[in-house]
């Protein structure tokens, strides 16, 4: 109901404005503006002389972006604009905003001065408006919100992927608004995200990519975000303190308030969380040009680099996830200590038996802390009932409380390389090779994001996400060029299992690829393959095995398809430093459609030359339809982005 009322109030204002404009242009301009407040007319004239509608701040606050024939706001909610046509006309919108200064309505939910505080604050300053000539208004809700937030400074927060949740590797960014409190947990987080309305995974993915969901800003206590990312999703967080003044941060919060309850269509690739949150930073300091220059995709870590390059990052803080803490403390107590901690968490032994054992006090602390963290982890993964968790958790902590030593004096989690230390998101590769004796030159393009063997700093080891990856070859001997592959999606996650975490590793790939046919030549097929399995970890070496399914479609196949299953056995070697290698053998038996078998073996190696350059040597041997082929290539890869 409130929503309707607000809508009606804004609508009626807009309708009257609309008729005004029509009349103004067509018949009697004087009739229309005759009852206009003379001060408003004066202000509009001044605004027009100062060209405020074309100013950078106005562009930022209204989210205007250049389009053919002018500008257009990225915000889609009609209630965001005070003027009809305000989405494409900054001038009309500015004049409507000046008119709105004289709105004497008392419902602060619809009064534009309580709703669009940043715009009005800025206008009052730019035009040196005498506030005493404006109607007195009371924005009680807004004032209370400002009292509670008490904005003084701000930080950009990047929630990275965690080794145990490799699918989250794109990361996510949001803002933290700090008060003058020392404790950041009670700061507020400002987040932009889509509100999905479907539960079916495929519809959800489609709508997320093509802008069918509305995105909204939200503001929540920061501890709820920390619990969500660190404790529940097991994602490490990075906090980048921003070099913004108190007045700038206030403007940021004012602008977030303006965006409250208003939607912008969400597009997974470009108008996404990380992109849209940067408007709040531009509102703080309009000279920053953060939302310009991105191509068709915006990856959170790219926005992070762009923000870093703008020079407003002061200092970085690392906030490890629960599983990062578990892994670290486990590395201190070793395998037997870890086993004891797990036994305590699972109620196989009592925490008092740790206290009474003869080990040093620091080791007791580590084991009990590890048991407490691990029982929390198990509870959030629904491995324990609530009552069982409460009893166990409390028993462990009671025992821990009897050792009068602070855990922070015993251990702290070391800070790993930050996400911004990684290679850039797009890559371009040039290579030469031979395909069963025929020489070729190859180029590869990949708009996003990371290959298993790309330089690993800042990424999760053993993970790969590639979108729209393309390879094309030229065979000089036959003087023909051909598409070697075009993957819409190629994801691989090789996460080792250990005594604490038992992840399932998986892979999925779909796209066009060349494969051998009985005519002994390569032809393009559309292939979808997927697999799941287990990975073990022995230091830098990760042996793995997956069960695979494969589905090929091509008019050249009998019945136009081949569907089969098989298995992959592989070894990933990823020591610290520049070198990585991946060796695998794969057998697939196509049992349906065009029945046949295929066997592959491959050794892929890469050496990092610099943060954004690497060299790869790939050798593959394959037997399909009884025909052998061997491919070897040497490739130079360069990582870049346009921003």
Partner 1 sequence: MKKYLVAAAAAAVVFGMSASDAKAANAAAQSNTGCGLGAVLIQNNDSLLAQLAMTLLNGTCGNGTFGITSGTSNCKKADKIASNEVNTFVASNMDNLASDIAMGSGESLSTLAELMNVPTAERGEFFATLQSNFSNIYTSENVEAADVIDNIVAVTKG
In the region spanning residues 479 to 538, those forming contacts with partner 1, defined by CB under 8 A, are 491, 493, 503-504, 506, 508, 528-532
Count CB-CB contacts under 10 A for residue 137. Answer: 16
Give the span between the Cα atoms of 294 and 272, in whole angstroms.
12
179-218 footprint of partner 1 as x/- string (CB under 8 A): --xxxxxx-x--xxxxxx-xxxxxxxx--xx---x-xxxx
Separation CA 379–CA 376 (nearest Å): 5
Closer residue to partner 1 in complex, CB, 495/635: 495
Q: Answer yes or no: are the C-beta atoms of 277 and 190 closer than 8 Å.
A: yes
Q: Is the Cβ of residue 90 or residue 300 nearer to partner 1 in the bound state?
A: 300
Q: 532 or 585, CB closer to partner 1? A: 532
Residue 409 DSSP code: G
CB of 294 to partner 1, least distance (A): 16
* Residue 251 C-beta: closest distance to partner 1, Å: 17
Alpha-carbon distance of 99 to 87, in angstroms, equals 17
Per DSSP, 612 falls in state: T
Restricting to residues 436-455, name those near partner 1 by CB under 8 A.
Answer: none
CB of 126 to partner 1, least distance (A): 27
Would you say 5 or 205 has its CB closer to partner 1? 205
How far apart are alpha carbons 52 and 518 in whole angstroms? 70
The distance of closest approach from Cβ of residue 612 to partner 1 in the complex, given in angstroms and rounded to an integer, is: 23
Residue from 551, 582, 622, 624 binding partner 1 (CB under 8 A):
551
Which residue is it, tokens 């257009």? 72
Mention every residue, 6+ apart, whose C-beta is less than 8 A from residue 151: 177, 178, 179, 246, 249, 250, 252, 253
Residue 427 bridge partners (DSSP):
446, 639
For residue 372, the minimal CB distance to partner 1 (Å) is 6
CB of residue 373 to partner 1, shortest distance in Å: 8
* Cα distances (angstroms) measured from residue 214 to each of 83, 119, 270, 273, 330: 22, 23, 14, 11, 43
How far is 298 from 291, CA to CA, in rounded Å?
10
Among 116, 158, 379, 544, binds partner 1 (CB under 8 A): 379
Q: How many Å separate Cα 261 from the centre of its chain?
A: 22
Q: Kindly report the backbone phi and psi dihedral angles of residue 551, in degrees, each rounded to the nearest multiple of 5, phi listed first.
A: -135, 110
Question: Can you tell me the distance from the alpha carbon of 275 to that of 293, in angstroms, rounded to the nearest whole number?
Answer: 11
- The residues facing 617 across adjacent strands are 605, 634
Q: Which residue from 59, 93, 369, 487 is in contact with partner 1, where contact means CB under 8 A?
A: 369
Find where tokens 């073996």 sit. Answer: 601
Closest CB to partner 1 among residues 233, 622: 233
Q: Least distance in Å: CB of 453 to partner 1?
A: 19
Distance CA 78, CA 93 (A): 12
Alpha-carbon span 320 to 326, nearest angstrom: 10
- How does DSSP assign 293-347, residue by residue? S--S---HHHHHHHHHHTT-EEEEEEE--HHHHHHHHHHHHHHHHHHHHHHHHTT
Stretch that binds partner 1, among 19-27, 103-111, 420-428, 541-549 (CB under 8 A): 541-549
Closer residue to partner 1 (CB): 215 or 455 = 215
Q: Which two tokens stand for residue 283?
A: 């509102």
Write down the least CB distance from residue 382 to partner 1, Å: 5
**In contact, 622 and 516? CB cutoff 8 Å:** yes
220 is a contact residue toward partner 1 (CB under 8 A) = yes
Query: Smallest distance, Å, CB 204 to partner 1?
Result: 5
Residues within window 323-352 making contact with partner 1, judged by CB under 8 A? none
Contact 179, 149 (CB under 8 A): yes
Contact criterion met (CB below 8 Å) for 187 and 222: yes
Do 161 and 171 form a contact (C-beta atoms < 8 A)? yes
Closest distance to partner 1 from the beta carbon of 526 (Å): 13
Number of Cβ within a 10 Å radius of residue 121: 16
Binder among 518, 591, 630, 642 for partner 1 (CB under 8 A): 591
Judged by CB under 8 A, the chain residues 72 through 131 that form the site for partner 1 are none
Kindly tell me which of 72 and 231 has the beta carbon lying closer to partner 1.
231
Q: How many whole angstroms separate alpha carbon 111 and alpha carbon 109?
A: 6
Q: Closest distance between partner 1 and the C-beta of residue 503, in Å? A: 7
From 19, 439, 592, 642, residue interacting with partner 1 (rule: CB under 8 A): 592
Out of 21, 41, 232, 643, the only residue in the binding site for partner 1 (CB under 8 A) is 232
* Binding to partner 1 in span 267-306, by CB under 8 A: 268, 272-274, 300
Q: Restricting to residues 13-72, which ones interact with partner 1 according to CB under 8 A?
A: none
Site for partner 1 in 165-184 (CB under 8 A): 165-172, 181-184
Residues touching partner 1, count (CB under 8 A): 111
| Sign of the C-alpha dihedral computed for residues 201, 202, 208 and 213 taken in this order | negative
Query: Nearer Cβ to partner 1, position 379 or 485?
Result: 379
Contact with partner 1 (CB under 8 A) among 42, 565, 578, 611: 565
Q: Are 552 and 515 in contact (CB under 8 A)?
A: yes
Minimum gap (Å) between residue 222 Cβ and partner 1:
10
DSSP string, 485-504: EEEEEEEEE---B-SS--PP
Q: Which of residues 208 and 418 has its CB atom nearest to partner 1 in the complex?
A: 208
Region 386-415 residues binding partner 1, contact defined as CB under 8 A: 386-387, 389-391, 393-394, 396-398, 400-402, 404-409
Nearest distance in Å: CB 83, partner 1: 25
Contact with partner 1 (CB under 8 A): which of 310, 362, 436, 589? 589
Nearer to partner 1, 444 or 450 (CB): 450
Of 71 and 563, the one with the shorter C-beta distance to partner 1 is 563
């Amino acid at each position: 109901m409130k929503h309707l009322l607000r809508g009606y109030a804004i609508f009626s204002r807009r309708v009257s404005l609309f008729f005004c404009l029509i009349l103004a242009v067509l018949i009697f301009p004087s009739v229309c503006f005759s009852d206009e407040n003379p001060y408003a007319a004066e202000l509009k004239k001044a605004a027009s002389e100062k060209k405020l509608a074309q100013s950078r701040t106005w562009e930022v606050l209204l989210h205007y972006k250049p389009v053919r024939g002018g500008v257009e706001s990225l915000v889609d909610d009609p209630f965001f604009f005070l003027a009809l046509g305000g989405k494409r006309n900054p001038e009309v919108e500015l004049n409507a905003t000046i008119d709105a200064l004289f709105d004497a309505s008392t419902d602060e939910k619809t009064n534009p001065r309580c709703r669009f505080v940043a715009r009005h604050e800025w206008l009052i300053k730019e035009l040196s408006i005498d506030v005493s000539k404006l109607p007195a208004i009371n924005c009680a809700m807004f004032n209370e919100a400002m009292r509670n937030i008490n904005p003084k400074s701000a930080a950009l927060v990047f929630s990275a992927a965690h080794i145990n949740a490799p699918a989250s590797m794109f990361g996510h960014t949001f803002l933290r608004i700090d008060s003058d409190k020392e404790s950041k947990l009670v700061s507020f987080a400002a987040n932009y995200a889509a509100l999905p309305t479907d539960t079916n995974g495929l519809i959800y993915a489609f709508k997320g990519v093509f802008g069918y969901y509305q995105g909204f800003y939200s503001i929540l206590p920061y501890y709820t975000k920390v619990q969500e990312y660190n404790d529940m999703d097991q994602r490490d967080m990075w906090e980048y303190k921003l070099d913004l003044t108190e007045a700038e941060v206030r403007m940021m919060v004012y602008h977030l308030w303006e965006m409250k309850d208003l939607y912008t269509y969400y597009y997974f690739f470009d108008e996404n969380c990380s992109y849209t949150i940067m408007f709040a930073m531009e509102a703080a300091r309009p000279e920053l040009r953060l939302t310009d220059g991105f191509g068709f995709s915006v990856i959170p870590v790219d926005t992070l680099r762009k923000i870093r390059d703008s020079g407003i990052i002061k200092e970085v803080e690392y906030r490890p996830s629960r599983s990062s803490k578990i892994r670290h403390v486990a590395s201190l107590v070793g395998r037997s200590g870890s086993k004891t901690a797990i036994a305590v968490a699972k109620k196989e032994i009592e925490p008092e038996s740790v206290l009474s054992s003869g080990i040093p006090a620091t080791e007791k602390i580590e084991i009990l802390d590890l048991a407490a963290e691990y029982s929390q982890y198990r509870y959030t993964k629904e491995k324990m009932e609530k009552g069982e968790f409460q009893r166990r958790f409390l028993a462990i902590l009671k025992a821990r409380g009897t050792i009068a030593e602070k855990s922070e004096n015993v251990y702290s989690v070391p800070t790993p390389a930050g996400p911004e230390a990684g290679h850039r998101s797009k890559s371009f590769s040039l290579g030469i090779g031979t395909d069963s004796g025929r020489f070729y030159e190859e180029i590869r393009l990949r708009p996003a994001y990371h290959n298993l063997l790309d330089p690993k700093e800042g990424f999760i080891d053993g993970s790969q996400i590639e979108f729209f990856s393309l390879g094309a070859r030229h065979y000089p001997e036959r003087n023909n060029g051909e598409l070697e592959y075009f993957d819409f999606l190629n994801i691989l996650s090789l996460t080792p299992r250990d005594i604490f975490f038992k992840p399932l590793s998986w892979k999925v790939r779909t796209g066009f690829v060349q494969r051998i046919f009985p005519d002994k030549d390569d032809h393009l097929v559309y292939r979808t393959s997927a697999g799941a399995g287990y990975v073990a970890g022995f230091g830098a070496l990760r042996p793995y095995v997956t069960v695979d399914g494969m589905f090929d479609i091509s008019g050249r196949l009998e019945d136009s398809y081949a569907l089969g299953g098989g298995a992959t056995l592989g070894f990933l070697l990823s020591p610290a430093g520049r070198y990585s290698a991946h060796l695998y053998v794969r057998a697939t038996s196509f049992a349906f459609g065009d029945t046949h078998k295929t066997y592959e073996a491959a050794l892929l190696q890469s050496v990092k030359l610099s943060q954004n350059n690497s060299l790869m040597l790939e050798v593959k041997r394959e037997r399909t339809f009884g025909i052998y082929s061997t491919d070897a290539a040497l490739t130079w890869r360069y990582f870049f982005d346009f921003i």
